[in-house]
Amino acid sequence: MSSLILSLPVSAAVSSCDAPIKFGALTWESGQFTTGVLKYITENSYGCQVTEVPGAGPALENALLQDDIQVIGEQWIGRSPILEQAIEDKKVSIIGDTLEGGATQGWYVPKYVLEENPGLRRYQDLPKYAELFKDPEDPSKSRFMNCPSGWACEIFNTRLLKNTGLDKTFNSVHPGTGAALFATIIYALPPLIRLTTLGITQVNHEMVEAGRSFGSTHLQLLIWIKLPQALPSIMAGINQAVMMSLSMVVLASMIGAPGLGEDVLQSIQTLNIGQGLQAGTAIVIVAIIIDRITQAFGQGKRARQKPLMRADARLVNDES
């Protein structure tokens, strides 16, 4: 249910208007509209100064609890342990529903689908009508459009799919996964393309001419001469592409992409420092391991053997 929530000391603040009334700056459209209406009423009807305070959901909820802000224009009741405890302790109060009668969370299908399939009335009926929701990326299963990653409803839905056995029939798809992958590829590809081109164009001209003199075709020159000689530059491009992809992990999770970034996002939304530290450390460790592996491949076997050859030479000189 979506409701309007305010801190209890706000009534005294409104009656005196000694200080500006602070509203939580919400990021979704209905919340922004509700906040705008409330600000207009507070300014023009009560003559009070108002201001908006930006912040993530948990941060605004804690600010409301501590009376750093006085009003949150819209909030889903039952999704925040912070507000549930604050309401129980009578530190904040719900003064009304955003929609008449409130709004209900649930699993929704289009009305025309229900009209065409009268037997589809409960979640237990979903396996019988799974072919109506085929996943185009995995035709063997159907698609369940979940909430964005990190939301309480996403965690609840994922567990409910597993507990009801529907996860065997439906793929849980998060909004924004495809967009996150596309954005990551576009962001990470330029260094790989540029360094590959640079490595090929910088191959020793004499080696290319030697290959041509032996009758090599353009494809043979590319496969047997240019690419092996450009390998260090190509591996440097792969290294940079991977590093830039990892830098997008947390940003991609904000539009629904799963992975370690999802754990970081959840820790930010719930103010869970331990989970954020754990997930962040894991991302750094993965980055270090991949960086060392790609660098080793880029150096080549001869470059890795040089330190050993130098050590053997010093040992021979010392013995002589």
Q: Judge contact between 291 and 239, C-beta under 8 A.
A: yes
- Alpha carbons 87 and 287: distance in angstroms, whole number: 43
Handedness of CA 280, 286, 289, 291 (dihedral sign): negative
pLDDT score of 306: 54
Q: What is the pLDDT of residues 90-108, one digit of tens each?
A: 888 887 777 776 667 788 8
∠ CA 223-227-229, nearest 5°, is: 125
Q: What is the pLDDT of residues 213-264, one digit of tens each?
A: 888 888 888 888 888 888 888 888 888 888 888 888 877 777 666 677 777 8
Chain mean pLDDT for the chain: 79
Tell me the average pLDDT across 114-134: 90
pLDDT score of 105: 74
pLDDT score of 231: 84
Name the region of 78 (left: φ>0; alpha: ψ -120 to 50; beta: rest).
left
Q: Please choose, from the candidates 95, 99, 100, 97, the residue with its C-alpha nearest in 3D space to the C-alpha of residue 14.
A: 95
With tokens 């063997």, the residue in question is: 140
For residue 144, count other CB atoms closer than 10 A to its CB. 20
Q: What is the pLDDT of residues 266-285, one digit of tens each?
A: 777 666 788 888 888 988 89
More confident site: 66 or 11: 66
* Residue 121 scores a pLDDT above 60: yes
Tokens of 247: 């830098």
pLDDT score of 93: 81
Does this model's pTM top 0.85? no
Q: Judge contact between 65 and 8, C-beta under 8 A.
A: no
Q: Please choose, from the candidates 89, 47, 87, 92, the residue with its C-alpha nearest in 3D space to the C-alpha of residue 69.
A: 92
Provide the 3-class DSSP secondary structure of residue 17: coil
Domains of the chain as residue ranges with CATH: 2-97 (3.40.190.10), 111-173 (no CATH), 177-319 (1.10.3720.10)
Length of the chain: 320
pLDDT score of 133: 92
What is the pLDDT confidence band of residue 12, given thresholds at 50, 70 and 90? very low
More confident site: 195 or 104: 195
